[in-house]
């Protein structure tokens, strides 16, 4: 969840490091720093707070003339945000400087052991242990020293390392934390994510676990821990740097909301063949394997978990296979019942979510087949899965997901329909009809986005409320969970989602005069039930926004119970989540905007959660 950049080349490093870190600000951070080698001196500058503070401290990088350096933006895990806890960290001798993403799980005993030997620590972080170990183990060879260190430490890490004794090379290594290498005519890069290097190059390598890379201004060498060379094919990034910029929008979030029709098209269209069938690239499951499935687990965190809740309803309805939606952080600790007849669907935007990756490994250890839905090619989850489906949503910069959520939903629909077709659980006519409706989703989402001015006006009325409640039944409830999260994570308004039928079992005690309630009623067979729940909250003074379908007919007395109404296009009930989430995304965005919140980088949150 932190950001790493490193550069060695023929240009001044510090301005390049700052530019790279600026493109990683979306990941969430509370401090920033750089380390640069020049004329045998290894200098570190770091500070709590925004990147601009660091930039001002070093004159935009101009006061650091060296052509080799590493930079970091930190999101606190061990130790509070402070100057001392910021990265890079130096070893006591001043020989090594390192940046680190991830978590060193055994740092406590290692730190105690080093302190017994007289090593003085300058920070509270787990990361500094790595810097001090490099010093303690140093044998004059950075490579062999690094191997000994990574064999000693436990946990997840991406490390960028400078050694003052070798002033023309950067070493880097990863384990369960993302790291890429960028190649350019002016020099070479390491980074935790592609946007950091896009201003300078589109040619990259993805590193795999326990691979060590040595960079100079002219060479990139990748080795395994036995120092055997690894040949890696270069990759070309096919999206432009502008895809990671705002493109005229005030925030990345609204840009990405508006990009959803295009993202959905890129996800759906290539998977539908000219003869009206579904092709799932990267999926090797046979008809026999699918027919033998006795259970499906969908495992994810946050918004991806909400996709899983939708997936439970959709997959069970179409395939009649029992489905459980599991929080990844709970999955591996609950002694899950999975075996060779279980399919585990892993969902993660980044493909690096620590809890989800751990759940994947637990599932594979127990014999399950793993199918992952990710957005990042070459990510850890993608690499370790038996089958992989990429959403092709393009880079998502805002911490609050929108287009990744929508494209993950689309993949769930395609998977469910594919399994139903392969196992004979759906007629050809029903298959064709549903596939046609899936194909129409991008256009329908585009039509809903035209409601943005109406939702912006509505947001002005409710921008300063203290509490909000989202209600729904069945699939509407699944969407209510995501809608509530969108509001709370970017506006900081207390918001909860409830199954509408549960109101009378305690929740209704929270409803009072002026309470804002968003009722989702797009499952047509359940609309009358939800309208009854609306009457219950209105009787206690709530103000109600109803999100429903175009053909929902309300009697006069029912219409009187609703203060505001948003109507969305009709489609198959199973696909409604893709449509009804859109006005909820817009409402959350515009309320946060009216409250002048830091929408793309909400407090305490990070984009890619690579620690437990």
Known catalytic residues are 2, 607
* Count of CB atoms situated within 10 Å of the CB of 98: 28
Rounded to whole angstroms, the Cα distance separating 121 from 111 reads 8
Rounded to whole angstroms, the Cα distance separating 393 from 399 reads 15
DSSP one-letter code for 12: -
Can you say how many angstroms the Cα of residue 443 is from the centroid of all Cα atoms in its chain?
25
Contact of 545 with 566, CB cutoff 8 Å:
yes
Contact of 135 with 93, CB cutoff 8 Å:
yes
H helix or E strand, kind and range, residue 190:
strand 187-191
> In angstroms, what CA-CA distances link 460 with 463, 517, 595?
5, 16, 9
DSSP one-letter code for 501: G
Which SS3 state, helix, strand or coil, does residue 564 take?
Answer: strand
Contact of 351 with 389, CB cutoff 8 Å:
no
Which of 93, 3, 7 is closest to 42 using CA atoms? 93
Beta strand pairing call for 494-499 and 203-206 = unpaired
Helices 403-422 and 302-319, axial angle in degrees (round to 10)? 20
Contact of 20 with 196, CB cutoff 8 Å:
yes
Contact of 234 with 243, CB cutoff 8 Å:
no
Burial of 584 from C-beta contacts in 10 A (0-12 / 13-18 / 19+): buried
- CB contact set of 414 (below 8 Å; sequence gap of 6+): 268, 271, 278, 280, 438
* Count of CB atoms situated within 10 Å of the CB of 423: 17
In the numeric block, the tokens 């009457």 are attached to 535
DSSP one-letter code for 37: E
**Token digits of residue 374:** 């990710």
Can you say how many angstroms the Cα of residue 371 is from the centroid of all Cα atoms in its chain?
17
Which of 524, 568, 564, 562 is closest to 549 using CA atoms? 568
Helices 475-491 and 576-594, axial angle in degrees (round to 10)? 20
**Token digits of residue 194:** 């592609």
Cα atoms in the 13 Å half-sphere on the side-chain side of 186: 12
In the numeric block, the tokens 């439970």 are attached to 312
Which DSSP string corresponds to 147-169? HHHHHH--EEEEEEEEETTSTT-
Strand partners, 548: 521, 567
């Amino acid at each position: 969840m932190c950001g790493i950049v490193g550069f060695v080349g023929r240009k001044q490093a510090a301005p390049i490091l700052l530019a790279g870190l600026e493109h990683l600000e979306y990941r969430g951070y509370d401090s920033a720093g750089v380390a640069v080698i020049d004329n045998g001196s290894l200098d570190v500058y770091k500070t709590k707070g925004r990147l601009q503070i660091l930039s001002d401290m070093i004159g935009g990088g101009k006061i650091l003339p060296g052509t080799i350096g590493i930079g970091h933006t930190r999101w606190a895990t061990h130790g509070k945000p402070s100057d001392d806890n910021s990265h890079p960290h130096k070893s006591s001798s001043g020989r090594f400087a390192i940046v680190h993403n991830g978590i060193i799980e055994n740092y406590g005993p290692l730190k105690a052991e080093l302190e017994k030997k007289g090593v003085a620590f300058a920070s509270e972080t787990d990361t500094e242990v790595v810097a001090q170990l490099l010093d303690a183990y140093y044998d004059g060879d950075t490579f062999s020293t690094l191997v000994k260190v990574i064999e000693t430490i436990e946990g997840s890490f991406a490390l960028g390392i400078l050694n003052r004794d070798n002033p023309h090379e950067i070493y880097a290594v990863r384990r369960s934390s993302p790291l890429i290498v960028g190649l350019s005519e002016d020099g070479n890069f390491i980074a935790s994510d592609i946007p950091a290097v896009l201003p300078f190059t589109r040619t990259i390598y993805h590193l795999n676990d326990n691979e060590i890379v040595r960079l100079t201004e002219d060479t990139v060498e990748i080795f395994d821990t036995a120092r055997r060379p690894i040949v890696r094919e270069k990759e070309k990034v096919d999206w432009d740097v502008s895809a990671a910029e705002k493109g005229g929008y005030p925030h990345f979030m609204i840009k990405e909301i508006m990009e959803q029709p295009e993202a959905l098209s890129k996800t759906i269209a290539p998977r539908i063949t000219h003869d009206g069938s579904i092709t799932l690239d990267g999926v090797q499951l046979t008809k026999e394997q699918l027919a033998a499935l006795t259970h499906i687990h969908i495992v994810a965190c946050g918004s991806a978990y909400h996709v899983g809740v939708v997936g439970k309803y959709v997959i069970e309805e179409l395939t009649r296979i029992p489905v459980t939606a599991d929080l990844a952080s709970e999955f591996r600790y609950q002694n899950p019942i999975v075996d060779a007849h279980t399919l585990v669907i892993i969902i993660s935007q980044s493909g690096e979510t620590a809890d989800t990756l751990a759940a994947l490994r637990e599932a594979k250890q127990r014999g399950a087949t793993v199918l992952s839905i990710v957005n990042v090619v070459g990510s850890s989850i993608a690499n370790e899965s038996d089958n992989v489906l990429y959403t092709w949503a393009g880079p998502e910069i805002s911490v609050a997901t929108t287009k990744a959520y929508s494209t993950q939903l689309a993949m769930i629909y395609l998977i469910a329909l594919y399994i139903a077709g392969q196992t004979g659980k759906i007629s050809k006519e029903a298959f064709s009809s549903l596939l046609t409706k899936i194909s129409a989703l991008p256009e329908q989402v585009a039509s809903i986005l035209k409601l943005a001015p109406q939702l912006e006006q509505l947001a002005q009325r409710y921008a300063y409320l203290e509490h909000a409640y989202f209600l729904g039944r069945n699939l509407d409830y699944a969407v209510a969970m995501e809608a509530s999260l969108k509001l709370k994570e970017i506006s900081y308004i207390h918001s909860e989602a409830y199954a509408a039928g549960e109101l009378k079992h305690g929740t209704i005690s929270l409803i009072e005069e002026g309470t804002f309630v968003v009722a989702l009623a797009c499952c047509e067979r359940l609309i009358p039930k939800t309208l009854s729940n609306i009457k219950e909250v209105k009787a206690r003074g709530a103000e109600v926004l109803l999100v429903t379908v175009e053909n929902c007919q309300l009697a006069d007395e029912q219409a009187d119970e609703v203060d505001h109404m948003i109507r969305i296009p009709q489609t198959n009930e199973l696909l409604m989540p893709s449509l009804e989430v859109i006005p909820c995304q817009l409402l959350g965005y515009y309320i946060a905007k009216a409250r002048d919140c830091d929408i793309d980088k909400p407090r305490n949150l990070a984009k890619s959660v690579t620690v437990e």
